[in-house]
Structure 1
Amino acid sequence: MGAAGGQLLAGATELFQQRQPDCDVRLREAQMVELMPWLRNGEIDLALGTFPFDEPGIATGPVLISEARMLAVPIRHPFARRSSVCLEDLARATLLQLPGTLPDSLRADRTPCTTPSGRPIEPGPSAATFNEMLTLIGAGRGVFPVGAHARRYYARPDVAYIPFDDAPPLRWGLLWRADNATARVHAFTQAAYDLINDHAAE
């Protein structure tokens, strides 16, 4: 999912195929609403997504990437002039929503109903794709928490990315059907883990 995820998986694929030259890997970009159906019906073997991902029958690998959270806001929003925001600030904004087809655990993490102190957060419209989400933000329809990579890969003149000063990091990892935990699935997961950790050690 997304440009940064594509780069990560391309690197993992190269390492995996060095270790498993007889295995072909096909990379596909999944929109948010496609992720679960593709996993469930076997159209894909693995997916890169954000944690927590608590869904029956879906297994998760180790955390590959942990990045700071930022709040994507319309460029004319008062938050856009600030150097940081906090989770309590969400009570003063309209929070765009993830599609209802995604796991409850994921939606609760990314689009909570209340702030940590219990103040209600106004829900906004939902979006089926990340670019649709950014379009809604740019149009002033609401705000949405994203990973820090969005500032680099999704720079837009109508959207500002403001760091949270108190939010936990956004974590990324691989997902697969628990009944499809093949040796190659585990080998690809290991290749992705090794790629990330080898780069971290450099």
Structure 2
Amino acid sequence: MRSPAVRLRHRDLNPVDPLTPLRAGEIDVAHLWLPVRGPDITVGPITHTSPIVIAMASTHPHADRESISLEDYGDLTFVAHESPYLPVRDAPPCRWAFAWHASNTTPLLRDFIATIAT
């Protein structure tokens, strides 16, 4: 269903606590990496996957590598977002899906979910 009067607005979420805005009713739907757990949150179909990457300082001993493995994580110190990213070669891909508060059953949200599910 097309809803030309409806505007989608992007909002960055805190990756440490992305569910609070859904639970508080501040947003209607969120695009999140899985897994998402909570009896009050409904998760839609997976929209896509992406590789797992890790940021590290350019001066870190692993920074000159093309990728790292999960085993390499043990001694890493995590740093700021301005750092280079390395793929984690043996990590499963990150799965993404839309999620919404289970009590949100508005026709507009149902139409949105039906649209992304096709």
TM-score, with structure 2 as normaliser: 0.84
Instruction: List aligned pairs for 1:134-149, cutoff 5 A.
Output: 134=81
Aligned to 1:91: 74
Distance (Å, rounded) in 2 between the aligned partners of 1:56 and 1:74: 38
Please give the secondary structure, in 2, of the residue aligned with 1:79.
coil
1:8-53 Cα offsets, whole Å, 9 max, x none, are xxxxxxxx6xx223x5234141331673232112121111111100
Aligned to 2:51: 68
Aligned to 2:84: 160
Across the two proteins, how many residue pairs are aligned to each other? 117
Which shifted more, 83-92 or 26-35? 26-35
Gaps of 5+ in 1: 1-15, 97-132, 135-155, 195-202
1:117-165 Cα offsets, whole Å, 9 max, x none, are xxxxxxxxxxxxxxxx41xxxxxxxxxxxxxxxxxxxxx4xx1211111
Q: Tell me whether 1:43 sits opposite 2:26 in the alignment.
A: yes
The residue type paired with residue 184 of structure 1 is L
Q: Tell me whether 1:82 sits opposite 2:65 in the alignment.
A: yes
The residue type paired with residue 170 of structure 1 is C
Aligned to 1:173: 97
Matched-pair identity in %: 32
Q: Tell me whether 1:55 sits opposite 2:32 in the alignment.
A: no
Q: Which runs of 4+ in 1 moved over 3 A?
A: none
Gaps of 5+ in 2: none
Distance (Å, rounded) in 2 between the aligned partners of 1:83 and 1:175: 33
Pairwise CA RMSD of aligned residues?
A: 2.1
Aligned to 2:6: 24
